[in-house]
Amino acid sequence: MKKGFYTACFWVVTISGLVLLGQAFLTPAVQAGQQEQQLPKELQVKPKHEVSVAVKLVQVYVTDKSGRPAGDLTADDFEIYDNNKPVPVLHFEKHFAEELAAAGSQRPRPALNRKFFLFFDLAFTDARGLMRARNAALKFMEKSLLPTDEISLVTYTALRGLTLHEYMTRDHARVRNIIENFGLKSVTGRAENLSNFFYSDMLMSLQSDEVQTTPEDSFFTDQARLQTGQMLDTVRRQGYADQARFYLEAMNQLAKVLRTVPGYKNIILFSAGLAKQLLFGRTGGAVLGEWSTPEQLAAQMAEYDAAQADSGLRSDFSRLLKELKNSNCAVFTVDISRVHKELDVEGSGGVMPGVRELDGADSLKQLASGTGGRFYANTVNPENAMEEIVNTTRNFYILGFKLDESWDGKYHKVKVKVKKKGYNVYSQAGYFNPKPFKEYNNFERLLHLIEVALTEEPWPYVPVEIPVASLPLVEKSWQMALTFARASGDDLAEVFGPKTEAYLLIFNEKGELALIKKFRAVVTEKDKKENDSFLPSFLLPVKPGKYECALVMRNLDTGRAARGRAVVEVPAQLPVMPYIDPPLLLKLDDRAREINAGGEPTLASIYGYNPGTYSAVAGAVPAETRKLYAALRVACPAGWEEGLKVSAGLAVEGDESGRSLPVVVLEKKREGQMLKLLLELETGEMPGGGYVVTFSVSGPNFAEPLSATSRFFLR
């Protein structure tokens, strides 16, 4: 596949930070002061290999001399510089609280949503601080958010390191539920479950190679062992300084990964901070004086060393500030340490010097000031701080400028100015070009998998959406979910390869990630030449209930991915023989290949058809269809197939009336107590739309006919 296909995927996602231009690039910029409207259909461009130009979007905050949000600016008032070169404003939006409230439900959705990362530092705080942070975050979730705001929930603990519970979700209720249960019971987020699965899987593959080649590799391995309980945080990192070092490394790695996430990332950090003495040294230091014995000298040297800042930690902290700024992360730090300052102010002596040296406020202040955020002291009600943070970020502009394709991972400096005098402009300092997927480290690959599997608008390797089907079956007296996808077309050429992996994620009715399964789907170049379609499938036992199944494929060489979802409902009880499983619709096809985990049954073996002649249908049926094929599984005692009759009816979706279809039983196959039938249905010409086909099986030994339905859509 040509490299240009990446461009199409990269540019087509308007919500994720780029606006597709194509033919629309020739239209005038949005008029000053107007909201951007949906492009007319004749200008909406579908992804093409030749697309190579896009608009880069940046969020901009502007205040007047009084510090109030400036809402009277137009596109003509702004100047943009990309690597010091002036570029024209090609896209303009204004999002201000008053106007959005007046618009009500008709308000336009921003091309860049607000993004908040709720980061709970639980390693350098106490239970009281956690409760203050929890209550503040709940108020933030309850009253301050817009429906379009994307929320991520992150915690850091000494025992588990960095844990990503939820990532870039607009399901605010899910995030609120996890926060509500902090300190009460364990509620696991979807991203956390998927992360733990990924960590365990990667550790198994790394067992034969313990060599750490880069700091990123070492961090990932340590993080994976902490998350999976294979390494306790009591031997290697007993000291405060060592814990602080790993904490800073975790935040550095997170900041690096967030480079590819478009727009501002507002990190709300609940923490007591790192001790001032550790990062900045003790006030006044220590002076070596007279000594008469080696013991006195050693004591003075120890005091001198203790008064010095840890140069390594100071370097890590400075690097963190740089990474956060480069990733356009504004950190709002909320000091949740004990409010000792209030007590000291009431006394006559103020704050004791020793207390000041251990206080972490200075580190929190520098994180905030160095990234364009704001610091809230422990004397400030954190719930009030939350309201101020949201109000600070509520009013903003979105500007867009032309961007040429480049996959070199390089950093571009961005400068936004207002031509008029008397305004203060706050915008992202720059952006990183996407880099080839082969250059991703393991932590970046984990975040990419989470984005592809769980977020609505993954970035920058946008997945291809594919049809997925899921059926409840009974196999060996177990209730199972059979889930498969049909991946066809040139768009998937770079998804399949020798290093393609397939994931199945099953979510329960609460939206929680209940089950995960994975296998390596090896597809050679010869396979791709001989086949037009690939059908990855999973069969696994599930408890009764209604589920949403997400099937994801990802190429570890190219980063290209495909995904799709389907709903399945597993009955509360096992059926009593005789019964019929849901039918599987088929099509005549000799250029499709089924792929699944080694040693597990294929679609063809489960339903008993020849995969060299037929393939399973998922998604739309071709418009030229005149015959349908179906595979049925009927559980009945041996001999019941004598005199067996099969009939079928076809109805338009939503219409109770229908017509009967001629049915031919092409093949019967018995395996134990399961009778497998291959059927041909004569449908004739059908107009496009949704259909329901109903199968009925009867015979001399059946007390009453068995029935099952299947739905399909005709293009």
Compute the average pLDDT of residues 446-465.
Answer: 91
pLDDT number for residue 290: 62
pLDDT beyond 80 at 465: yes
Compute the average pLDDT of residues 452-457.
Answer: 91
Burial of 656 (0-12, 13-18, 19+ CB in 10 A): exposed
Compute the average pLDDT of residues 495-509.
Answer: 95
pLDDT number for residue 704: 95
pLDDT in tens, 181-203: 886 666 788 999 999 999 898 88
Pairing of strands 645-652, 659-661: antiparallel
pLDDT beyond 70 at 299: no
pLDDT number for residue 212: 55
pLDDT beyond 50 at 111: yes
Q: 521 or 227: which carries more pLDDT confidence?
A: 521
* Total residues belonging to the chain: 715
- On the CB side of 114, CA atoms within 13 Å amount to 25
Q: CA torsion angle for 228, 548, 551, 485 (degrees, to 10)?
A: 160
Q: 451 or 223: which carries more pLDDT confidence?
A: 451
pLDDT beyond 50 at 385: yes
Q: 658 or 581: which carries more pLDDT confidence?
A: 581
pLDDT in tens, 121-132: 988 888 888 899
- Does the pTM surpass 0.85? The reply is no
pLDDT in tens, 391-445: 888 899 999 999 876 888 899 999 999 999 999 999 988 999 889 999 999 999 9
Pairing of strands 329-335, 375-376: parallel
pLDDT number for residue 311: 78
pLDDT number for residue 387: 86
Using alpha carbons, list the distances in angstroms from residue 435 to 21, 82, 279, 702.
22, 19, 33, 63
Q: 602 or 65: which carries more pLDDT confidence?
A: 602
pLDDT band per the 50, 70, 90 thresholds, residue 215: confident
pLDDT band per the 50, 70, 90 thresholds, residue 629: very high
pLDDT beyond 50 at 7: no
- Do residues 111 and 93 lie in contact, with contact meaning Cβ atoms separated by under 8 Å? yes
Starting at the edge strand found earlier in the chain, the sheet holding 329-335 runs 161-169, 150-157, 115-121, 265-271, 329-335, 375-376
Class of domain 115-381: alpha beta
pLDDT band per the 50, 70, 90 thresholds, residue 309: low
Q: Which residues of 585-610 are buried (b: 16+ CB within 10 A; e: fewer)?
A: bbbebeebbbbbbeeeebbbebbbbe
Task: Find all residues with CB under 8 Å of 26, minimum gap 6, and list them.
Answer: none
pLDDT number for residue 353: 40
pLDDT beyond 90 at 451: yes
> Distance from CA of residue 92 to its chain's centroid?
27
pLDDT number for residue 34: 32
pLDDT band per the 50, 70, 90 thresholds, residue 231: low
Domain with CATH 3.40.50.410 in the chain: 115-381
Domain with CATH 2.60.40.10 in the chain: 463-714
In 457-507, which ranges are E strands?
464-465, 468-475, 478-485, 487-488, 500-507
Q: 352 or 74: which carries more pLDDT confidence?
A: 74
Compute the average pLDDT of residues 264-293.
Answer: 74
pLDDT number for residue 568: 97
Rounded CA separation 267/370 (Å): 13
- The amino acid sitting at 303 is E
Counting residues of the chain whose pLDDT is more than 70, the rounded percentage is 81
- Asked if omega into 460 is within 30° of 0 (cis), the reply is yes
Using alpha carbons, list the distances in angstroms from residue 408 to 60, 72, 301, 439, 470.
26, 38, 49, 10, 40
Compute the average pLDDT of residues 78-89.
Answer: 95
Rounded CA separation 522/508 (Å): 30
Superfamily of 463-714 according to CATH = Immunoglobulins (2.60.40.10)
pLDDT beyond 70 at 284: no
What would the two tokens of residue 391 be?
């109000």
Mean pLDDT score of the chain: 83
pLDDT number for residue 282: 55
pLDDT number for residue 217: 80
pLDDT beyond 80 at 16: no
Rounded CA separation 635/584 (Å): 15
pLDDT band per the 50, 70, 90 thresholds, residue 293: low
pLDDT beyond 90 at 323: yes
pLDDT number for residue 613: 97
pLDDT beyond 70 at 180: yes
pLDDT number for residue 551: 97
pLDDT number for residue 267: 97
pLDDT in tens, 472-490: 999 988 999 999 999 988 8
pLDDT number for residue 545: 96
pLDDT band per the 50, 70, 90 thresholds, residue 352: very low
Q: 436 or 459: which carries more pLDDT confidence?
A: 436
Compute the average pLDDT of residues 91-102.
Answer: 76
Task: Find all residues with CB under 8 Å of 350, minimum gap 6, and list them.
Answer: 344
pLDDT number for residue 52: 44
If we measure between CA atoms, which residue out of 32, 76, 62, 33 comes closest to residue 422?
62
